[in-house]
Every structure is written in structure tokens, then in C-alpha cells.
């Protein structure tokens, strides 16, 4: 056996004992956050039309086998109970992605347009501000569809959007996506840049681009007028998943916040941040 000199052994031991200094995270790595834990609805709030916030009527939103599901097996009649499941965090600049799949039969009494139809609402008013009998939150909707219609269309309950600098008059605008079948898993992504551009993607392809979401228009009903000041440009709000009478399931629900530290000297600096909030910077 070869023996090291006394001073060498102690030097090696000291080197082993010294903890490695924490290295800054890769500023180019996208830190996607899973916002659905696959076990329960922690971090989310339910609001159904004709029900109070927090009343998950007939266990409509539920978690089964790691999937977030919208189910109507405990309903006698849909009863215009348009539902939304809100994520807890207010967001401004962000990307959200998920996979969705429709299945089963539409709830009895559901409107014809809601068959194979769900959505991702964004820049929404807070769930606690939605009145009991209000049908849809004042928000913008990235529509999730199947069965003969393009997906990632946009609809505007109580809002307006612009394209090419001009206000869009239609309530809904179709995307250029391919047509997806019932029971087919579809991967979609939504990128929202505050009051600027909105990009909607299906299976990795850009299918719709628009800008300047603002409060206005019709369709939403039963709201508190304090939350519908037409002409107000929307730069932030809440995201929500929709329940419109069609069974649907979601998985791989992830968020990339584009608001954050933009000081390159900070440990948590990210090159992809687009909205500066240096109060979040970490230096030690």
C-alpha cells in the first residue's frame, strides 16, 4: 500500500470536506413548472355558473389516474353550469402548455356548440370577483376543439382582440390548425406577452397570432359592472381550464413564467425573461 504524506492526506481531507459552492443556474435553460400535481386540485379554485366560488358541483373537476378530468356522470342535466378551474397565480407574460383529449358523451342539456369544446381562459378576472350567476369570466379564451373544427381558435367573452392593428369584430376567430379527432391527445401551447402579442400553437406549430386584448364586447352575462370597463387594455390576469358540458381530460399542464430577474449578475437571471421584475433577483 502506498501511503500519502501526512500533510497531503490532510489537504485531500480538507478538500473533500469543503462543500462545492452553488453554481448559478443555466440562464438559457427554460424552467418549466408543473402546475398540476396529478393527485388533487391543490393550487386551483373552482367557479361554476349558479354556484359560489369553491363549489365543485357534482365533482365535475376531479383527478383520476394522474389526469385532470372534467366529468358529468353525476349530473341529471347540465343546467348551464359553465365551469372554470382557475390557477392561483396572477400572470402577465408567460407560456402555458398542456395536452388535452375529449372522450365520452356530452352532458344532457349542453349547448350544441359546446360538444368537443373546452378552453384555456387567460387575462381573466379573479374567480372571487365572478358573481354567482355569471356565465363566463371576463377573459380571453384559447379554444380547445375536435371533431371537424380547428383547435386553438380564440373567443372573447367580455373582451376584444386586435390583429394587424385593427379590432376584430367577430366573437371567435379560427386558427390554421389541422383537424383533430375525438379521443385524440393534442399538445397545445399558449404564449401571452402582457398587453402585447398572443401566440397560440398546436403540436408545435404556430396556428394563430393576435395582440392587444382589452375589455369590451358582449357574450359574458351576469357580471359585476365594476369589472367590465370597456376599452381597458388587459395586461395580466388569471388562467383557467374550462368545463362546458363535454367530458375532457388534461395532462402535462406546465407553466413558464416570462416575468422575472433580468439582471445578468443575478444567480436567477434568465435570458428568456421578457418582463423585468428585478425584485425577484437572487445574488447569494
> Tens digit of pLDDT for each residue in 206-261?
999 999 999 999 999 999 999 999 999 999 999 999 999 999 999 999 999 999 99
Mean pLDDT across the stretch 159-187? 97
Q: What is the structure's pLDDT at 19?
A: 45
Q: What is the structure's pLDDT at 24?
A: 58
Look at residues 186, 210, 188, 211 and name the one whose alpha carbon lies nearest to residue 201: 188
Q: Is residue 81 part of a domain?
A: yes
> Tens digit of pLDDT for each residue in 25-41?
799 999 999 999 999 99
Q: Is residue 267 part of a domain?
A: no
Mean pLDDT across the stretch 133-153? 97
Q: Is residue 13 part of a domain?
A: no
Q: What domain range is 239 assigned to?
A: 36-257
End-to-end CA distance of the chain: 44
Q: Is residue 222 part of a domain?
A: yes
Q: What is the structure's pLDDT at 25?
A: 72
Q: Is the pLDDT of residue 71 over 50?
A: yes
Q: Rounded to 5 degrees, what are φ and ψ at 101?
A: -155, 130
Query: What is the pTM for the complete model shown?
Result: 0.90
Which CATH number goes with the domain that contains 120? 2.60.120.560
Q: What is the structure's pLDDT at 11?
A: 43
Mean pLDDT across the stretch 135-144? 98
Query: For the chain, how many structural domains are there in total?
Result: 1
Q: Is residue 280 part of a domain?
A: no
Q: What is the structure's pLDDT at 17?
A: 44
Mean pLDDT across the stretch 124-138? 98
Q: Is residue 245 part of a domain?
A: yes
Q: Please give the helix or strand (H or E) that residue 12 lies within, else none.
A: helix 6-17
Contacts of 230 (CB under 8 A, 6+ apart): 215, 216, 217
Contacts of 71 (CB under 8 A, 6+ apart): 59, 60, 62, 247
> Tens digit of pLDDT for each residue in 49-66?
999 999 999 999 999 999
Q: What is the structure's pLDDT at 15?
A: 44
Q: Is the pLDDT of residue 6 over 90?
A: no
Distance between CA 59 and CA 71 in Å, rounded?
8
Q: Is residue 4 part of a domain?
A: no
Distance between CA 224 and CA 204 in Å, rounded?
38
Amino acid at each position: 500500500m502506498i501511503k500519502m504524506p501526512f500533510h497531503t492526506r490532510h489537504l485531500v481531507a480538507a478538500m473533500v470536506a469543503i462543500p462545492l459552492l452553488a453554481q448559478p443556474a443555466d440562464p438559457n435553460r427554460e424552467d418549466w413548472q408543473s402546475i398540476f400535481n396529478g393527485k388533487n386540485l391543490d393550487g386551483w379554485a373552482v367557479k361554476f355558473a349558479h354556484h359560489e366560488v369553491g363549489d365543485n358541483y357534482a365533482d365535475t373537476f376531479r383527478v383520476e389516474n394522474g389526469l385532470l378530468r372534467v366529468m358529468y356522470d353525476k349530473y341529471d342535466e347540465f343546467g348551464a353550469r359553465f365551469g372554470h378551474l382557475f390557477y392561483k397565480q396572477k400572470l402577465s407574460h408567460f407560456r402555458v402548455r398542456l395536452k388535452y383529449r375529449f372522450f365520452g358523451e356530452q352532458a344532457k342539456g349542453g349547448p350544441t356548440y359546446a360538444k368537443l369544446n373546452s378552453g384555456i381562459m387567460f387575462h381573466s378576472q379573479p374567480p372571487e370577483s365572478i358573481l354567482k350567476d355569471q356565465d363566463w369570466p371576463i377573459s380571453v379564451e384559447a379554444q380547445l376543439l375536435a371533431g371537424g373544427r380547428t383547435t386553438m381558435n380564440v373567443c372573447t367573452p367580455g373582451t376584444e382582440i386586435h390583429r394587424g392593428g385593427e379590432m376584430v369584430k367577430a366573437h371567435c376567430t379560427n386558427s390554421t390548425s389541422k383537424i383533430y379527432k375525438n379521443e385524440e391527445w393534442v399538445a397545445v401551447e399558449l404564449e401571452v406577452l402582457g398587453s402585447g402579442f398572443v401566440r397560440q400553437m398546436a403540436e408545435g406549430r404556430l396556428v394563430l397570432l393576435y395582440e392587444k386584448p382589452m375589455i369590451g364586447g358582449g357574450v359574458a352575462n351576469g357580471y359585476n359592472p365594476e369589472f367590465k370597463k370597456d376599452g381597458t387594455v388587459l395586461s395580466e390576469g388569471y388562467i383557467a381550464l374550462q368545463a362546458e358540458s363535454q367530458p375532457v381530460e388534461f395532462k402535462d399542464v406546465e407553466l413558464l413564467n416570462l416575468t422575472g430577474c433580468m439582471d445578468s449578475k443575478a444567480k436567477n437571471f434568465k435570458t428568456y425573461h421578457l418582463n423585468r421584475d428585478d425584485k425577484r433577483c437572487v445574488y447569494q
